[in-house]
């Protein structure tokens, strides 16, 4: 039965590290930033493939931050987080 102590392999998956999420970024993306934007902006931004990385680059450029997002490194562009 799922979600009980009787489900899954006793002791867990011994090869879990093989399937562990990795990234090439110098700093992991662990924080969320929520902002309010007009509905029309959201539609335009979310229509673009890879929009999360584009938004990160725009923020980095505006605030003169280290711009280190690597395209395809740890992001599918399909995040469900509202931007």
Cβ atoms of residues 52 and 25 within 8 Å: no
Whole-number pLDDT of residue 39 = 98
Contacts of residue 63, defined as CB under 8 A and 6 or more positions apart, other chains included, come to none
The token pair at 36 is 């309010």
pLDDT above 80 for 56: yes
Any idea what the Cα angle at residue 64 is, between residues 61 and 68, rounded to 5°?
65
* Cβ-defined contacts of 39-44 (< 8 Å, 24+): 42/82, 42/83
Does pTM surpass 0.75? no
pLDDT tens-digit map of 44-53: 999 999 999 9
**Percent of the chain topping pLDDT 90:** 41
Whole-number pLDDT of residue 73 = 45
Domain parsing of the chain, residue ranges:
36-75
pLDDT tens-digit map of 7-22: 667 777 888 888 877 7
């Amino acid at each position: 039965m799922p979600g009980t102590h009787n489900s899954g392999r006793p002791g867990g998956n011994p090869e879990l590290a093989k399937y562990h999420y990795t990234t090439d970024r110098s700093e992991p993306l662990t924080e969320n930033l929520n902002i309010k934007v007009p509905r029309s902006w959201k539609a335009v931004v979310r229509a673009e493939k890879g929009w999360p990385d584009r938004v990160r680059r725009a923020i980095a450029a505006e605030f003169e931050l280290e711009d280190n997002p690597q395209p395809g490194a740890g992001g599918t562009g399909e995040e469900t987080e509202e931007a």
